Structure 1
Amino acid sequence: MQLFNTLSAEERAELIDQSGKQRLTLSFYAYANIEDPQQFRDDLFLAWNPLEVLGRIYVATEGINAQLSLPADNFYAFKDHVETYPFMNGMRLNVAVEQDDLSFLKLTIKVRKKIVADGLNDNTFDVTDKGVHLKANEFNEMLEDPNTVLVDMRNHYESEIGHFKNAITPDVETFRESLPIIEDDLKEHKEDKNLLMYCTGGIRCEKASAFFKHKGFKNVYQLEGGIIEYTRQVKAEGLDSKFIGKNFVFDHRLGERITDDIISQCHQCGKPCDTHTNCANEACHLLFIQCDDCASSMEGCCSLECVDIIHLPEDEQRERRRGIMKGNMVFRKGKSDALKFKKSGDAVAAVDLATAPKVKKDIRKRERKIFVGNAEHYFTKASVGQFAIEGELKTGDKIIITGPTTGREELVVTEMRVNGEAGTMAKKGDLVTINIPFRVRLSDKMYKLPQA
């Protein structure tokens, strides 16, 4: 009985690519009394794994919090299963604004103490006494009221790339930090102001609204369904979007565009940019904003020190990573002095620095390509990449090399060495070296494009 993942992220990405299925990315949450979270977790895995569900799901005695993707063809089978649980019957499933078949590459269902780490003792207040839920049009109307105070319940790295105009954006790294800060900042306005909150999908506001009502705030409101549902309603009803920029998401995409406005900067050069990435040095893995030019010149790294490290032999890199617990440190290191243009909290403003280029994307159209092999090594001084061949390769083939850090690079094989000797043809089991004008990594895959 399989209750855990058996495939690596790379293997799963290859299967997704070969399947040709369009996938949907969605999220949802539900508070409920779950007596046996571990059994609930196992039941979900057994039901969802055959449906090819991938994602990050937390369950606890207080409920479920899920971000996941699944083949579009399996959506209704998934929905039918979810609704066999009474507390999830009729629950809203927030479908992502932008879709990406590779948003998740594993099915991870974890039992936690809480579905959101809020640091609160739920026994000290009524968690069901929540604020008033507002739909998009009601939310926009309340923003026009001068007695409304709008608060972003997300973290600094989320609000930096996108937020509602005139919102208070606390300079915090975790949700639990924001609650006492907001309470203290607004303590003089518990009765005369409308406290209006929003977050990504609504789950943080569910608990926060009950907490603030417990603390004496009289007029507490929250955006129903968060930014994701707000955007859907804005588009469906032709409303004016008061949100500007990108919505940060906790999957491979790291963000989905809501408006064409770019309000943040590359943390390294200051150029208008709202593309988050993780440092290519796995011993660092810092989350930061990096433009294409800096990604090229810094090889996907956040600092020159990390650039030096990624050029070390792989064994030495692994040794440096040993015992490092990254966790939330990837966000805290976002305050690194190496990042000269970092902004958060009071420094965040809804200022349009640039307009995102229009990208025409057909998620149904797939590139035909044939898997050839895996990257084994990169010889920096010689600019030569070594690959273990799993298919067939010959000179003249047009190839693509892809990976999480490398991205997508395309070139033609003009010459190669097969098992150390000059050759024109390689087959499964051969080691091939070819000249490559960019660094390749162990996670990179080689594909060839069919001849025209």
Structure 2
Amino acid sequence: MKDYSILLYYCYSPIADPEAFREEHHLLCLELNLLGRIIVAAEGLNGTVSGLREDCEKYMATVKADPRFKDIDFKVEPSEQHVFTKLHVRYKPEIVHSSLKHLAPQEKTGIHLSPADFKKMKDQEDVVLLDVRSDYEHLVGKFKNALTLDIENFRDFPEKVAELEPLKDKKVITYCTGGVKCEKASAFLLEQGFQNVYQLHGGIIKYGLEEGGEDFEGKCYVFDNRLTVDVNRVNPKVISRCYICQEPSDRMVNCANPTCNIHVPMCEACGATMEGACSDTCKHDPEKRPYNGTGYYQKETNGYNPFKGLYRKEKK
């Protein structure tokens, strides 16, 4: 059994004083030696963290003990080590930047489908699978026959919905990495007059964990040191091609030129030849980072302080 766990989770539930809660939550994570990224907003909580299995279990029990988060759905993946090097617990206006602040998914959103129900329904003739992730995410992996949108960020999703008008008579199932984007995407589709809107509860990650990931082609992009993870244990397939040589490759990298930093598939051979850069211009850029063979570049940790952000003083 692996000693570490990776947790992916979210919960839309009102938090009366999110800034005070952010501080309490930050302290909890420090006490449990967790690393990762957590966003706290008035509308809820969204995070992905890693830690020792026992510490992660304590964290999940503590969060679920709060009545506001009793229904939170943790996706738990075993790991041999931390997949983060820092802890950031931040207060923001939304738990996912969506430009849809007026929507409250806990009040109205698409029908949640369990991974098992999603598997039964996804291939029906009147069903459309809608990927609501960014283009660099679905470039490296998506469900077979899914409809993808050309968006750089989720906040661009509302502008693309007009293109989906011909699908209003279909059953639309949205999906994303862990489910959080689907909550507002589905709610917005309903607001725009779509009648039969569903969402894959727990996202791609939960579908892989519970149903083996059948028909998810390629790899799933994740927001930690791993960059991508395998999901499909049933009928895996590589769908992406190396940005340089166009040979099949699902190895995702960030361009070694920090000014560029695009997310693209790149095979190991081209990674070595190009020193992790996506072009000759980037390869010879004076700011290019030393290629470490992975294509993942951790932000500078100089001066990193895990207690940064704990601004409040004890009341006298």
TM-score by length of 1: 0.61
Aligned to 1:250: 223
SS in 1 for 2:65: coil
Post-superposition offset of 1:75: 2.2
Aligned to 2:20: 39
Aligned to 1:371: none
Post-superposition offset of 1:32: 1.3
Pair member with larger Rg: 1
CA–CA distance in structure 2, aligned partners of residues 75 and 292 of structure 1: 34
Cα pair distance change 1:252/1:210, threshold 3 Å: same
Matches within 5 A, 1:283-432: 283-310=259-286, 317=287, 405-407=291-293
Asked whether the 8 Å contact 1:262–1:272 carries over to 2, the reply is: yes
SS in 2 for 1:115: coil
Asked whether the 8 Å contact 1:127–1:207 carries over to 2, the reply is: no
Aligned to 2:115: 136
Give the RMSD, CA atoms, in angstroms. Answer: 2.4
Post-superposition offset of 1:126: 7.2
Q: Which of 1 and 2 has higher RCO (CA within 8 Å, sep 6+)?
A: 2
CA–CA distance in structure 1, aligned partners of residues 214 and 175 of structure 2: 14
Residue-by-residue CA offset, 1:200-229 (whole Å, 9 max, x unaligned): 111111111111111111111111111111
Letter in 1 for 2:165: K
SS in 2 for 1:104: coil
Q: Does 1:276 align with 2:252?
A: yes
Aligned to 1:184: 162
Identical aligned residues as a percent: 37
Post-superposition offset of 1:147: 1.1
How many residue pairs end up in the alignment?
A: 292
Structure 1, unmatched stretches of 5+, are 1-20, 311-316, 322-403, 409-441, 444-452
Post-superposition offset of 1:151: 0.6
CA–CA distance in structure 1, aligned partners of residues 245 and 275 of structure 2: 14
Q: Which range moved further: 248-257 or 273-282?
A: 273-282
Asked whether the 8 Å contact 2:43–2:94 carries over to 1, the reply is: yes
CA–CA distance in structure 2, aligned partners of residues 278 and 100 of structure 1: 23
Letter in 1 for 2:292: T
Q: Of Structure 1 and Structure 2, which has the larger fraction of its residues in strand?
A: 1
Asked whether the 8 Å contact 1:24–1:70 carries over to 2, the reply is: yes
Q: Does 1:170 align with 2:146?
A: no
1:92 to 70, 73, 83: 73
Cα pair distance change 1:56/1:158, threshold 3 Å: same
Q: Does 1:104 align with 2:76?
A: no
Q: Does 1:113 align with 2:90?
A: no
SS in 2 for 1:122: coil
In the TM superposition, structure 1's runs of 4+ consecutive aligned residues that sit over 4 Å from their partners are: none
Post-superposition offset of 1:121: 4.0
Asked whether the 8 Å contact 2:51–2:82 carries over to 1, the reply is: no
CA–CA distance in structure 2, aligned partners of residues 90 and 203 of structure 1: 14
SS in 1 for 2:94: coil
Letter in 2 for 1:251: D
Q: Does 1:61 align with 2:38?
A: no
CA–CA distance in structure 2, aligned partners of residues 258 and 126 of structure 1: 27
TM-score by length of 2: 0.85
Matches within 5 A, 1:1-16: none
Post-superposition offset of 1:139: 1.3
Structure 2, unmatched stretches of 5+, are 295-299, 302-316
Letter in 2 for 1:86: P
CA–CA distance in structure 2, aligned partners of residues 195 and 36 of structure 1: 35
Letter in 2 for 1:184: A
Residue-by-residue CA offset, 1:225-280 (whole Å, 9 max, x unaligned): 11111111213xxxx71212111101111110123421101101111111111222
Aligned to 1:78: 59
